[in-house]
Structure 1
Amino acid sequence: MSQVWLITGSSRGLGREFAIAALEAGHKVAATARKVSDLEDLQKTYGENVLPIALDVTNEAQAYEAVQSTIAKFGRLDVLVNNAGYGNVAPVEDTSLAEFREQIETNLFGTIILSKAALPHFREQKSGHFIQVTSIAGRMGPIGRAPYAAAKWGVEGFSETLAKEVAPFGVKVTLVEPGGFRTDFAGASTSLQEGRPEYDETVGKTARFQRDFNGKQPGDPKRAAAALLKIASEQNPPFRLIVGSDAYNAIEKNDLAKMEAAKEWKELSIFTDFPKESA
């Protein structure tokens, strides 16, 4: 069945592949980017099935207008893909508070703002699917990406709460957690700062690896888009979908280690309860 999608960050990377895949599958897409000129080729190729929208995801008025314009053009909205985002590499010590705020505004508040803009429509039509593109950084803290991880962990927590609140309306929420994909996310879209010498073996090493690994990531953006189409067509989609073998392996190892650490300190954890009254 044909759906109406609104995808943020459609000008390049995974967002562009998501838009193309949805259009090729016969869906209608409201594609957004900061500069609407970056979407002209999509409209030339797919004509009236594309609605190009200029959108800064941190702008509440623009977010509301994007949702309303989509509904006005296509009559409804079925899938909102909160994809827009970026993450730079630098030590916490060398990252300004302004940079923290900018990344959190885009990656976290951008998702919250668009979700809130679409929510009344989804509730009223008793259907809809929020697809929140987070990251492996939403499950484990990668060295050098503290602002990005803080934002993506926030998206995960926000979405867990959102999913429980909207389930009675027939509205679905899925967190998509990619690992490394061959997009410009780790290239032109990212600033890689090794930081001061004291961080050479941590952040410096990470920045150098990122530069060398760019273009060699295991993830195929087209296959990620196919996976997105799959979950958007499901009656009971997963709440979380890990995307990429590197992400799956790292998250599995990380989560198992967390549970083992929790068990090690279980006695101290439960010690903090009031003592049980003796019979």
Structure 2
Amino acid sequence: MSRRWLITGASRGLGRALAEAVLAAGDRLVATARDPRALEHLVHRHGAAVRLAALDVSNPVAADEAVALAARSFGGLDVVVNNAGYGDVGSVEDTSLDDFRRQIETNLFGTIIVTKAAIPLLREQRSGHVIQLSSVGGRIGAPGRAPYSAAKWGVEGFSECLALEMALVGVKVTIVEPGGFRTDFAGASTSLDAGRAEYDAVVGATARRQAAYDGTQPGDPARAAQAVLALAAMDEPPLRVALGSDAVAAIRDADERRLAELERWRDLSISTDFPAQ
């Protein structure tokens, strides 16, 4: 059966690859972007199967209108993909509060806003699947990316809570954590600030590594799109899934370190309980 999708940030990167894969699979799509003119090729190729919507994810009114467009055009929604986002590189000290707010507004509040816009429709249907594009940076503090990691860690916590609530009304939630993919995320979409010498070993190294990394990332966006299609077809999808061998390795290593640290400090941790009676 043809699924009905809404994808944010569909004009570039993983969002664009997923939009093209969804339509190639015969599904229907509300494709959104700040400037939907960048998506007109989808209409030319797929006609009535696709609707375009201008959406700044920080705008609740626009989010409501995008969901309403899906309801009018397709009679409902089966999959909502919160993909829109970006992440700049810079030190905490040198990143302005305005830059912090902009990145958190897009990456975290944008996800919350679009999700909340979709929930009433999904609840009434008692079905649907919300797929949140997080990142390896949502599981591991990414050097030089404090605003991005803060936002993505927020997406992860928000989505865990969401999953527990939505399960009561038949709606599934999956958090997708990509590693490095050959999109423009590491290129034109990102501002790199190597910053001052004191932080060069971390922030400067990240900026240099990202500049060199662009175009050589291990991840294939088309294959990522197929993985998301597979998730959308599952009766019992995972709450979390990493995408890419680099993501799997990094998350495994980080989780092992966390468990070791938890055990190392276990006696101090449990010393705060009231004495046993």
* Same fold, judged at TM 0.5 (above): yes
Distance 2:217 2:177 in 1: 15
Distance 1:190 1:263 in 2: 38
* 1:151 maps onto 2:151 in alignment: yes
* 1:107 maps onto 2:128 in alignment: no
- 1:91 corresponds to: 91
Distance 1:212 1:244 in 2: 19
- 1:17 corresponds to: 17
| 1:106-155 alpha-carbon deviations (Å, 9 max, x no partner) | 00000000000000111111101000000000000010000000000000
- 1:259 corresponds to: 259
- 1:170 corresponds to: 170
Distance 1:108 1:219 in 2: 24
| 1:190-220 alpha-carbon deviations (Å, 9 max, x no partner) | 0010001111111001100100011000000
1:29-108 correspondence to structure 2 within 5 Å: 29-108=29-108
Code of the residue aligned with 2:113 in structure 1: it is I
Code of the residue aligned with 2:259 in structure 1: it is M
- 2:213 corresponds to: 213
Q: Which runs of 5+ in 1 are unaligned?
A: none
- 2:233 corresponds to: 233
Q: Which runs of 5+ in 2 are unaligned?
A: none
Distance 2:22 2:261 in 1: 42
Question: Tell me, what secondary structure is at the counterpart of 1:208?
Answer: helix
Question: Tell me, what secondary structure is at the counterpart of 2:11?
Answer: coil
| 1:22-60 alpha-carbon deviations (Å, 9 max, x no partner) | 101110000000001111111111111110100000000
| 1:208-248 alpha-carbon deviations (Å, 9 max, x no partner) | 01000110000000000000000000000111010000000
- 2:191 corresponds to: 191
Code of the residue aligned with 1:142 in structure 2: it is A
Question: Tell me, what secondary structure is at the counterpart of 1:63?
Answer: helix
User: TM-score when scaled to structure 1?
Assistant: 0.99
Moved over 3 A (4+): none
CA RMSD of aligned residues (A): 0.5
